[in-house]
């Protein structure tokens, strides 16, 4: 049976923490977490988010271990709408990353919070 995006998001079994960009920016000052932008490179180039690492959702699992080997480092994931970020967070948790959070706001709010 095919699943809609909403059904797919509802079927995520690992707990995914969700916070605003402002909260992530405050936390990152203390914990030196890594903010990952899972949008496509053209999207990230057209609307950059300061201080983030762009790893497109389609290659996240293949590139993540090169970017971060510490399973306990806080990871903050964002995209344009939150859908790819939630799917990415699920995969990172399944890979063994222990502290994965999704930013729940739009790009302008993320840009403002991280500036």
The CATH number covering residue 52 comes to: 3.40.250.10
> Is the residue at 97 inside a domain?
yes
pLDDT in tens, 15-65: 999 999 999 999 999 999 999 999 999 999 999 999 999 999 999 999 999
> Is the residue at 7 inside a domain?
no
Question: Which three-class secondary structure state does DSSP give residue 87?
Answer: helix
Q: Which residues pair with 101 in a beta bridge?
A: 17, 76
> Is the residue at 23 inside a domain?
yes
Report the b/e string of 14-32 with b at 16+ CB within 10 A.
Answer: eebeebebebbbeebeeee
Give the list of residues 6+ apart from residue 47 with CB closer than 8 angstroms, or none.
107, 111
> Is the residue at 25 inside a domain?
yes
Mean pLDDT of the 103-108 span: 94
Question: What is the Cα gyration radius of the chain?
Answer: 13
> Is the residue at 80 inside a domain?
yes
What SS3 string covers 59-71?
HHHHHHHHHCCCC
pLDDT in tens, 78-90: 999 999 999 999 9
Whole-prediction pTM value? 0.94
Give the list of residues 6+ apart from residue 56 with CB closer than 8 angstroms, or none.
38, 39, 40, 41
Domain count, the chain: 1
> Is the residue at 6 inside a domain?
no
User: Domain residues for 21?
Assistant: 12-114
> Is the residue at 4 inside a domain?
no
């Amino acid at each position: 049976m095919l699943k809609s995006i909403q059904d797919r998001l509802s079927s995520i079994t690992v707990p995914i923490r969700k916070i605003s960009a402002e909260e992530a920016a405050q936390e990152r000052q203390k914990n030196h977490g890594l903010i990952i932008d899972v949008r496509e490179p053209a999207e990230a180039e057209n609307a950059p988010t300061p201080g983030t690492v762009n790893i497109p959702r389609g290659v996240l699992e293949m590139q993540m271990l090169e970017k971060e080997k510490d399973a306990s480092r806080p990871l903050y994931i964002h995209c344009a709408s939150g859908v790819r970020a939630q799917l990415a967070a699920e995969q990172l948790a399944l890979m063994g990353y222990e502290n994965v959070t999704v930013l729940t706001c739009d790009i302008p709010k993320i840009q403002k919070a991280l500036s």
